[in-house]
Amino acid sequence: MVFMSDDNFQKTVVVLFGALGDLAQRKLMPALYQLHKAGLLKEGCQILGLSREAGSTEQFQEKCAASLKRFLSKADHQAEVIASFLQRLTYLSLDFNHAEGYEGITKWLAASPHESLILYYATPASLYAPISTHLHTLGAISKRTRVVVEKPIGHDHQSSTLINDQLAKHFTESQIYRIDHYLGKETVQNLIALRFANSLFESQWNHNHISHVEITVAEAVGIEGRWGYFDKAGQLRDMVQNHLIQLLCLIAMDPPSDLSADSIRDEKVKVLKALKPLSAEQMAMYLVRGRYAKGICDGQVVPGYLEEEGANQDSSTETFVAFKAEIANWRWAGVPFYMRTGKRLPEKLSQIVIHFKPAAHYLFDQDQKHIAHNKLIIRLQPDEGISLQVLTKDQGLDKGMRLRQGPLSLNFSETYKASRVSDAYERLLWEVIKGNQYLFVRRDEVEYAWRWVDKLIDGWEASGIMPKKYPAGSWGPASAITLIARDGRYWHEDV
């Protein structure tokens, strides 16, 4: 068993590269603060922030204090706790590409007694190699070092292999923590509990009982000033290769023999290996790329993708993608997984809908036949919860045996009022500190996911088809509806 008990973790120090960047300030500092506030950081757990910009520790602390104020809720922002958290922070300015300056890190490490060291690379992947090499030269990397890296790991299979090889020069796989922040979300972890702690579901979880599965990850935001990055990536690389494929794996994987990192990851890899590539004909029918045009979101008129700041008019990047995936194995033979994700959709919503097959022999009114199947709706965000749509008899003397569909619902925030839902990064950092890798992506997962995504990208690049327009605030191009309607189905909210 790999789980350590929560009080059996080591005294850790954290070296954070890219400490002034958006990820560090928006997500990592608030997450570290929450761990501090919860008493989970040991005394002496110091954090060294590194960035190119000149500045002192005091200035860094001020900047972090301002970010905490901005990104924490009022209830979480407690002046005394903030003050004691800031005492853990030190800052060093460093050009990551050049060896000069790195000895500042070793001096700091020598002065900060620790049992384990976390290196957090909140930087572009192109910097992983120089940072690791310089640290290695100074002897700062040991068996007790863990390195945390962010997506995207490359932009295709080849580049991801290169990045992984560079990391593997200095770290073993058991030292590398590749983040997919969706795995840190409480409700995503709940998929494992829901599936494997409830025999009710697991016994039905296969092609005999499930007709199809929908996975939707919708965002109302646009690209938030990240045109430069996003236009090179697009929605397929930015969201599908990692977040959506991880959700697919958690839904489709076989039960692991235990909850250890490798047992879970082995099962996920089996799903990835069984993911069928789409043929050219299937791509024409079952793959839709879209790009938002000007429209209305949250009651505001918002610009189209090509009108965003910094936009290049020749762009052929997609901000929406929908497709039908199939998994060629015993459990899922013939069960389509309809997936879609996009920016500037009507709302932020991550949801999985499992559609069960109808009863073998239908007894009720023919005009209701289309509603006569159960659905399990797993809402990952917002309003996290689970709802099982069941059919009952409609009430009333005049209703005969008319059917009615209604939910058996579990809304997490209403049911478990007392508990605060932790942010994904809190959970992930806490697992790094404890040395648990089960919420992190193993090298082979990244590479199999890229292989599958690369084939899609090659296919549509060869087709030369441009993304279809959709108005901001809509559910994507009409062809995303046709994609599923072609199989006689509809997306859950279109009912």
Interaction between residue 454 and ligand BG6 (CB under 6 A): no
Residue with the shortest CB distance to ligand BG6: 238
Interaction between residue 219 and ligand BG6 (CB under 6 A): yes
Q: How far is the CB of 433 from ligand BG6 (least distance, A)?
A: 21
Interaction between residue 318 and ligand BG6 (CB under 6 A): no
Among the listed residues 231, 238, 426, 454, the single contact to ligand BG6 using CB under 6 A: 238
Q: How far is the CB of 181 from ligand BG6 (least distance, A)?
A: 6
Distance between CA 18 and CA 422 in Å, rounded? 23
Q: How far is the CB of 381 from ligand BG6 (least distance, A)?
A: 6
Q: 171-190 mask for ligand BG6 (x: CB under 6 A)?
A: ----------x---------
Q: How far is the CB of 246 from ligand BG6 (least distance, A)?
A: 11
Quick one: 116 or 350, whose CB is closer to ligand BG6?
350
Quick one: 238 or 431, whose CB is closer to ligand BG6?
238
Cα–Cα distances (Å) from 449 to 71, 189, 300, in that order, read 32, 20, 36
Distance between CA 239 and CA 443 in Å, rounded? 18
Quick one: 238 or 454, whose CB is closer to ligand BG6?
238
Q: How far is the CB of 19 from ligand BG6 (least distance, A)?
A: 20
Angle at the Cα of 18 from the Cα atoms of 163 and 129, rounded to 5 degrees: 25
Pick out residues in 370-389 that bind ligand BG6 (CB under 6 A). none
Distance between CA 322 and CA 483 in Å, rounded? 8
Distance between CA 379 and CA 216 in Å, rounded? 10
Place of tokens 């919503």: 349
Burial class (CB in 10 A: 0-12, 13-18, 19+), 179: buried
Which one of the listed residues 155, 170, 181, 243 is annotated catalytic?
243
98 is catalytic: no
Q: How far is the CB of 224 from ligand BG6 (least distance, A)?
A: 7
Q: How far is the CB of 216 from ligand BG6 (least distance, A)?
A: 12
Quick one: 382 or 400, whose CB is closer to ligand BG6?
382
# chain residues binding ligand BG6, by CB under 6 A: 3
Quick one: 191 or 278, whose CB is closer to ligand BG6?
191
Quick one: 132 or 241, whose CB is closer to ligand BG6?
241
- State which amino acid sits at residue 347: E
Quick one: 134 or 151, whose CB is closer to ligand BG6?
151
Applying CB under 6 A, the residues found at the interface with ligand BG6 are 181, 219, 238
Which residues are known to be catalytic? Answer: 243
